[in-house]
């Protein structure tokens, strides 16, 4: 179902040398790393660690679709806020809207990238779709 | 303009430890690395190295939009074919369709991921859009 | 010169999916990323950002030698303390001892990896050795 | 035991955007990725895939020590030869010398980085040292 505007989770992170490329900016694939970190921390605030899901239940979340628009380049030493908003919940999948914003000291944050990530719940090993455990569904909404 | 079905460029690559994650599969962001390698090699077959573009002309190509669907997990040691097909050409942008296929010895390749990448031509430094140099446009079509 | 036991800088970081590999542990090269993040934050506490050094002075620090011993595997969701201790200062180089320790809730941290990194001060572009600017030398000791 | 000068295995690879950083050169940790790729391909020429070792035997090789010296920066589009030479064989460990050389068209290759990697054979899961299987020892020497 489509959800009412979701409370947004935020995670701040720093751009390090490892994230940049020879064009002097953050390499495009690395925004998906930033997005993943924020989703993991968001899930942790709901009381679930991914390691725990994996070892206790043999269940994992995998990304099935990702789309991302790059608005402005991010640079070394930038401080970036990455947001997570749950926008759609299915029986075996979640849709999440994410943004990366450069934190500017005067408060006028700048949008660097935004995208939509679709997550599927799967049985580890086979990677077959699996219903999202009820208590997780209840926690995250 | 939209192009007639493009001749497809292919590049084979191997999955190494660095590409995988603790779920035992290729980490989702790393498919964008694979796609980038193939685009770079495709451009090289057209006679352009990105380093040369960058230093001689102050021009670069940056990704402005990426969308990707993950169909099957890729695993350590997999041999993967990454394809590049130019699907749309604008004055300052290109749209490219890409696939990653697992090369199976019996010839029945399996689709692992496919996506669409929009590339913008920019002036390095400012990252302002710039017309794609004419000779590049002629070479790649 | 060799320095008296240095006050140790510490930076905490989390292990994410991107850091792990199919063996279920942090990929060995990624500890060098962790070490670099901590060195950058240590330098920042001294009042220098690397971007500023780069753009204002055309000077940069590059790693000339790295040695690292892996003591225990790090895993997804681990919280890791990375330390930085300046152990030797030359005219154009620094030697830094670093450790990565798993933060265990009961306080009995476990050594995951330790190493020594030699940093050279260079002129960007040519990568020729350059004396470390005096005020940086004064700040970091 | 220490070995007679080993026949050297070579693997060529290309530097892509993902490998570089904002200093315009290959990020220092990424040479360890290059080294790992070459060791994996070397092992493959001996008839062993790491995935096979892992799933069939529950055995894996992990890096216990790495030391590397960076001689010259590598840049985007560089073609690099990575070498593997087995220099010491123990019951549960191997020592390997590796180099990364820039392939220059006129044949005067340039040393970019060289190092020594110590590999331990372990039982996956526990990461306890394990004797290297005899047929592997025979194959690699």
- For every residue of C80-126, DSSP letters joined together read EEEEEEEEEE-SSEEEEEEEEEE--TTS--EEEEEEEEEEEEEETTT
- The number of residues making up chain A comes to 141
Name the residue among B28, B67, B124 with its Cβ closest to that of A67: B67
pLDDT of residue D5: 59
* C50 vs C129: CA distance, rounded Å: 17
Q: Do C50 and A14 touch (CB under 8 A)?
A: no
**Partners of chain A (3+ Cβ pairs below 8 A):** B, C, D
Could you tell me if D97 and D65 are in contact, meaning their C-beta atoms sit under 8 angstroms apart?
Answer: no
Residue B6's alpha-carbon distances to A22, B9, B88, D39, in angstroms, are: 30, 9, 10, 37
CA distance A119 to A84: 13
Nearest to B18 among D33, D50, D75 (CB): D33
Instruction: Compute the distance between CA of residue D38 and CA of residue B83 in angstroms, rounded to an integer.
Output: 24
* Mean pLDDT value of segment D53-69: 87
Cα dist from D63 to B56, C22, D48, whole Å: 41, 14, 17
Q: Which chains contact C through at least 3 pairs of Cβ atoms less than 8 Å apart?
A: A, B, D
- Evaluate whether B80 touches B100 at the Cβ level (below 8 Å): yes
Query: Contacts of residue B40 in chain D, CB cutoff 8 Å?
Result: 16-17
| Overall average pLDDT of the C87-114 stretch | 95
Evaluate if residue C17 carries a pLDDT over 90: yes
Distance (Å, whole) CA B107 – CA B109: 6
The CATH classification of domain C9-140, taken from the options 3.10.129.10, 3.30.70.1450, 4.10.490.10, 3.30.420.40:
3.10.129.10
Report d(CA B84, CA B43) in Å as an integer. Answer: 10
Q: What is the pLDDT of residues C33-91, one digit of tens each?
A: 999 999 999 999 988 766 677 677 788 889 999 999 999 999 999 999 999 999 999 99
Looking at residue A5, its pLDDT comes to: 59
Can C65 be counted among the known catalytic residues?
Answer: no
Residue-by-residue pLDDT tens, chain A, 141 positions: 566 556 799 999 999 999 999 989 999 999 999 999 999 999 999 887 666 777 777 888 899 999 999 999 999 999 999 999 999 999 999 999 999 999 998 888 999 999 999 999 998 878 899 999 888 888 888
**Yes or no, beta carbons of C16 and A40 under 8 Å apart:** yes
| Contact call for A77 and C36, based on CB within 8 A | no
The nearest CA of chain A is from the CA of D10 a distance in Å of 26
Cβ-defined contact of B25 to C22 (cutoff 8 Å): yes
Residue of B nearest to D77 (CA): B51
Inspect the interface and report whether the beta carbons of C66 and D66 lie closer than 8 Å.
yes
Is the pLDDT score of C30 beyond 60?
yes
How far apart CA A133 and CA A123 sit, in angstroms, is 12
pLDDT in tens, B11-49: 999 999 999 999 889 999 999 999 999 999 999 998 876
Chain B residue numbers with beta carbons less than 8 Å from the beta carbon of D36 are 16-18
* Residue D50: pLDDT over 80: no
How far apart CA C60 and CA C62 sit, in angstroms, is 6
Q: Tokens standing for B18?
A: 């660095």
Chain C hits for A51, CB-CB cut-off 8 Å, are 75-77
pLDDT the model gives residue C138: 86
Phi, psi of D76 (to 5 degrees): -45, 140
Model-level pTM?
Answer: 0.94
The pLDDT of residue B38: 98
Residue labelled with tokens 């090699």: B41
Which residues have a Cβ under 8 Å from the Cβ of C26 and sit 6 or more positions away? Answer: C15, C19, C20, C73, C74, C75, C78, C112
Touching B (3+ Cβ pairs <8 A), the chains are A, C, D
Q: Does C70 touch chain D (CB under 8 A)?
A: yes
D21–A18 CB contact, under 8 Å: yes
pLDDT digits (tens, 9 = 90+) for A8-33: 999 999 999 999 999 899 999 999 99
8-state DSSP, C56: I
CA distances from C41 to A77, C83, D22 (A): 10, 11, 17
Q: Which two tokens stand for residue D27?
A: 């990020």
Contact at CB, B33 and D16, closer than 8 angstroms: yes
Establish if D29 touches chain A: CB-CB under 8 angstroms: yes
Percent of chain B at pLDDT above 90? 70
Smallest Cα distance from A28 to chain D, Å: 9
Whether residue C16 has pLDDT greater than 70: yes
User: 3-state SS of chain D?
Assistant: CECCCCCCEEEEEECCHHHECCCCCECCCHHHHHHHHHHHHHHHHCCCCHHHHHHHHCEEEEEEEEEEEECCCCCCCCEEEEEEEEEEECCCEEEEEEEEEECCCCCCCEEEEEEEEEEEEEECCCCEECCCCHHHHHHHC
Helix (H) or strand (E) holding B117: strand B110-123
Residue of C19, C21, C65, C77 marked catalytic:
C21
Query: Rounded to whole angstroms, how far apart are CA atoms A17 and A20?
Result: 5
């Amino acid at each position: 179902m489509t959800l009412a505007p979701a409370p947004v989770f935020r995670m701040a992170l720093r751009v390090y040398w490892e994230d940049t490329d020879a064009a002097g900016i953050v390499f495009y694939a690395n925004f998906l790393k930033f997005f993943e970190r924020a989703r993991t921390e968001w899930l942790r605030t709901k009381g679930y660690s991914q390691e725990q899901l994996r070892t206790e239940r043999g269940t994992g979340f995998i990304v099935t679709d990702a789309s991302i628009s790059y608005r402005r380049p991010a640079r070394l030493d930038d401080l970036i806020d990455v947001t997570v908003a749950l926008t759609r919940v299915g029986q075996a999948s979640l849709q999440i809207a994410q943004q990366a914003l450069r934190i500017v000291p005067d408060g006028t944050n700048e949008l660097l990238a935004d995208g939509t990530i679709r997550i599927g719940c799967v049985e580890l090993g086979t990677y077959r779709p699996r219903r999202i455990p009820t208590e997780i569904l209840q926690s995250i909404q």
